[in-house]
Structure 1
Amino acid sequence: MASQSEDFHRWLGIQGEEFQHKLDLVVEGHQMVSEKLDWVESSLAGKIDAVAADLTAHRADTDAHHIIYRVKEDDTEYKG
């Protein structure tokens, strides 16, 4: 009986170590995904800022040439 109890405790210890190893892998995977999401977020933020700056510059250029170009923002007709 003592031998079976010892074997069971050893088996239980091995199962606990295997579970801990798998849990460590899951945690590591979540950390990698989190880091990747942070990188994507910062990358997209930079690109969105660049597009906003381009749109602002385009709008300023369009406004500067209002006789040639006209931005229509509503349904009212431009009378020049």
Structure 2
Amino acid sequence: MEKEHLEVILESIDSKFDLVIEGYNTLDRKIDTFRAELKEDIALCNVRIDALGVKIDNVESRLSEKIDAVAADLSAHRADTEAHTIYRVRET
């Protein structure tokens, strides 16, 4: 009787271990899937950041060109003394 009782208990423990192992395997698959998705998302973010960096560089380049053009126009305007007949312009 004790042997049969012990066998029943061992079968119960065995089935519980099977459930634990099945749960572990399920979690392992979910973690692997999540990791793969996260890698894809990070790669996509890196591409977008690189593209944004290129856009910022382009804007900075165009802005620098415009500022240089305004500075050249201002220098030309200050050099033209005929444009200052009514008002006297001085640099401080």
TM category, shorter: 0.7 to 0.9
Any stretches of 5+ residues in structure 2 without a counterpart?
69-92
What is the CA–CA distance in structure 2 between the aligned matches of 1:55 and 1:68, rounded to whole Å?
21
1:6-46 deviation line (CA, Å, top 9, x unaligned):
x1000000000000000000000000000000000000110
1:20 match = 14
TM-score (norm 1): 0.75
Percent of residue pairs bearing the same amino acid type: 22
TM-score (norm 2): 0.65
Higher helix proportion: 2
Aligned residue for 2:8, secondary structure, equals helix
Aligned Cα root-mean-square deviation (Å): 1.6
What is the CA–CA distance in structure 1 between the aligned matches of 2:13 and 2:28, rounded to whole Å?
23
1:18 maps to a residue whose letter is S
**Stretches of 4+ aligned residues off by more than 3 angstroms:** none
The number of aligned residues is: 64
Which of 44, 50, 56 is equivalent to 1:56? Answer: 50
Q: Which has the higher contact order (CA 8 A, sep 6+)?
A: 1
2:33 match = 39
Pick the structure with greater CA Rg.
Answer: 2
Any stretches of 5+ residues in structure 1 without a counterpart?
1-6, 70-79
